[in-house]
Amino acid sequence: MTAASVSPTGIASILERLPDYARFDRVQSAHDEEAPYRLAIGRMVKAWGDLLLDVVEVRPSPLNRNQGGMVDALLQAIGEIFQALNADGEINVGSVRGPQLRSLRSCDSDLLHLMEGCERITLTLKQKEFAGAWIDAESKPLYAALRRLHKQLSQRNRVLSLRESLTLPELDLDCYSPEDLA
């Protein structure tokens, strides 16, 4: 797969929304710069999750237990990316100077590279006739890339002094009947 097979609109949307760090002089303008960037990344990540779910549900090949577990792991990794994207707090505008600014720019560069790689991998899913074959061949590289993507977003959050959302605790749903959950 070549770079030309990567969705140009998704990557272009993110590039167009890269924050202008010169505008990080006030908290509100910093948030105004950051929000569209995070939204563009989120839209692309959501598309990967949607594609994964669509293909797994529609393709004619049943998944074995390991493949189903890998799909769950991929979706969990996507969920963790959304937690990082939904970080809250006020951006520390004083932190966007010198070494921190270089760190943010480095994170942005790494994010774009990782986004392109994830996009390439997920687009190969459209070309596979059987989802199980794709999971066996591509899920581990995609999972590793999603974990690195989360790490880069978490690094950006630390530099900007943002807090990631708390993880919801696991609930014991065995105590509910199916009718209670409907």
pLDDT tens figures, 25-68: 999 999 999 999 999 999 999 999 998 888 777 666 678 888 88
pLDDT in tens, 147-160: 999 999 999 999 99
163 forms beta bridges with 88
Task: Assess contact for 28 and 136: CB atoms under 8 A.
Answer: no
Q: What are the structure tokens assigned to 36, written together?
A: 């569209």
According to the model, what pLDDT value does residue 59 have? Answer: 61
Residue 24 DSSP one-character state? T
Q: Which pair of tokens denotes residue 172?
A: 């014991």
- Predicted local confidence at residue 167, as pLDDT: 54
Among residues of the chain, what percentage have pLDDT more than 90? Answer: 56
Mean pLDDT computed over 14-18: 95
Beta bridge pairs of residue 88:
163
What are the two backbone dihedrals, phi and then psi, of residue 88, each rounded to the nearest 5 degrees?
-125, 175
